A and B are shown apart, each in its own frame.
Chain A
């Protein structure tokens, strides 16, 4: 493992060569918004919120899937980046039916708090207003396609951590849908173990505990750290 040096927001810093840019940035205590990234899951660079500017190229880079390189010079905040991040949030809000006021995750939602932090006070794009169902067939959980942002944390946690691969993605582009098994009602999916990891990692109200009422759902994903530390580092410590 070698150590390299790079510049983040005009500060010279060192990082380990196999780290991602996102890890190196956060290690410096620099805030950078993410939605699809979650510590403990593989990265896919899907949401594009963690884009950074690099000196020498006009192309923006997703920090979560870019490895650090010697001499790299990146900037995490600029007018352009903030504008793009706001656009991303607005596009997410316009794509499905995000009705915060009556959502089970109101006040605890990652999408909602990111929108607030970035100053998204209106949406410039026409709402798509798709007609999407709720699936309440599972004994303990509910899936609401209206609130899904296709971050696929649920797909990844189910495949990578639980090993069940209940969830997958059907369709393309804005028509993509997270589905159980080969498009079964969740309740009749045979691969689901009912562990609830997908519910806990979901950043919005797309997956929730059955019986949750408005603003009542709070999610905890500390379990991911415990499991991954145990598996990968043999550290079995529950804090």
Chain B
């Protein structure tokens, strides 16, 4: 008999989800699906607009990482213009992108995930959120908010506002950095280095507390993909595509990002609006081409970080590798996020000392020179692709956007299944299982509104289904 249990509205992912768990005749988990039930259609309604407007329009896909869309979109615009942007513009864009990664990762770790880590997966859902965290550990909550604030301030200082700044444009950026603004960023930095140390301590503790969970929380072999710099360093803005397999072998390296279609395919399933990108050479069937992107993938594909403290942290991180294989536990996304924050702080510290950073030549002028533009950058959640096909006057004829969360779709499904296998008990959904599934999804920090270009809200909705499709148990949150 179907039973619906309402739980307090606690979701803490960007967007909402439905999960179905299918049981076999023996009552064991046969399949688990992570359904994204929202749709927005940006790829369609960009058609007919000018490519000059694309950064401004596509930034509206998301209020959390508008900067990532600004970067990929402006880079696609640069490609259409066929220009090299001024070196200072590139440095400034990188700086905003680092600010973006800091604020988004801090949001994911402190505001969304740390309540699970601090209070435990089985604690009262009504309390297990940022408000509960403020009550229980106000100092920690304050630190999280301060760290995120820095990222937002960098974006605001450069772009005029922290959400949807229209500052990154085809050809460069709209405003140079002033000495006064540079000073403002510099004075905020030291405190943030202290904050990240606190966060790292927290994650080390979590690794001990959740030692049992780590192995069940999406720990499986997969491919990892991301951009790396020319020397193999950690890279978020430019670079070349690299894919490593579960053995640590590079299966793709030095791929120019505009050739992404040669290695990445996109599949669709009738039960989700979120597409299923896969690694083409291995095919889509049975999840063979599943790859992961984002902080964990970036740390797995790069050779080194490229800054002093992040290099050391990465070295430490790589102690988690077994037999030189990539770190495969999804739980370590949290850890990877913090290392990236440290990296971004160091990069900003270095960049603002660059004597060229105040140069006022920050925008290249040109008109349409190419009819296709592809822009690729690393968003907080992984590699982001924008591809525009235009007519000779610059009006978009076709747009293709591949969002980081989509690329983790196969892995998220697999994670849900793994957690369900470990925690589904008989024909009932337990609180503990539900909490763990939710955290399993949250580890990827999925942005469902981005990845489906979604609108509206759907609650997290978990169904336990018998082999003949009967709903054995059902829980709804939100």
Chain B residues, CB < 8 A from A133: 48
Q: How far is the CA of A136 from the CA of B50 in the complex (A)?
A: 8
Binary B-proximity of A138-155 (CB < 8 A = 1, otherwise 0)? 000010000000000000
- How far, in whole Å, are A133 and B50 apart by their CA atoms in the complex? 10
Asked if A213 and B56 make an inter-chain contact with CB atoms under 8 angstroms apart, the answer reads yes
The residue on B at minimum CB distance from A140 is B367
Which residues of B lie under 8 Å from residue A168 when comparing CB positions?
none
**A171-184 to B contact mask, C-beta < 8 Å, 1/0:** 00000000000000
12 of the cross-chain contacts (CB-CB < 8 Å) are A101-B60, A102-B57, A134-B49, A136-B393, A137-B393, A142-B50, A211-B367, A213-B55, A213-B56, A213-B169, A213-B174, A216-B174
Closest to B166 in A: A214
Scan B43-76; emit 1 where CB is below 8 A from any A CB, else 0. 0000011101101110010000000000000000
Kindly provide the distance from the CB of B206 to the nearest chain A CB, expressed in whole angstroms. Answer: 39
Contact A134 B52 (CB under 8 A): no
Q: Of B56, B60, B169, B367, which is within 8 A of A210 by CB?
A: B367
Q: Are A212 and B52 touching (Cβ within 8 A)?
A: yes
Complex: A42 Cα to B50 Cα, angstroms = 33
Q: Confirm or deny: A104 has a beta carbon within 8 angstroms of a beta carbon on chain B.
A: yes
**How far does the Cβ of A129 sit from chain B's closest Cβ, in whole Å?**
11
A134 to B170, CA, bound (A): 19
Interface residues of chain B, those whose CB is within 8 Å of chain A, are: 48-50, 52-53, 55-57, 60, 164, 166, 169-170, 174, 365, 367, 393-395
Q: Which residue numbers of A lie inside 8 Å of B, CB to CB? A: 101-102, 104, 133-134, 136-137, 142, 187, 210-216
Chain A residue nearest to B171 in the complex (CB): A211
Nearest CB on A from B381, distance (A):
23
A-B contact count (CB 8 A): 45
Closest B residue, CB atoms, query A135: B393
Q: Which of the listed residues A210, A213, A215 has the most CB atoms from chain B within 10 Å of its own CB?
A: A213
Distance A134 CA – B52 CA, assembled complex (angstroms): 12
> For A211, what are the chain B residues with a Cβ–Cβ distance below 8 Å?
52, 365, 367
Residues of B within 8 A of A187 (CB): 393
Given the known interface contacts A213-B174, A216-B166, the answer about A134 and B56 at a Cβ–Cβ threshold of 8 Å is: no
**Minimum C-beta distance from A109 to chain B (A):** 14
B366: nearest chain-A partner, CB-CB: A211
CB closest chain-B residue, reference A214: B56
In the complex, the answer to whether B53 meets A101 with C-beta atoms within 8 Å is no
B53 touches A104 (CB 8 A): yes
CB distance from B176 to the nearest CB of A (A): 15
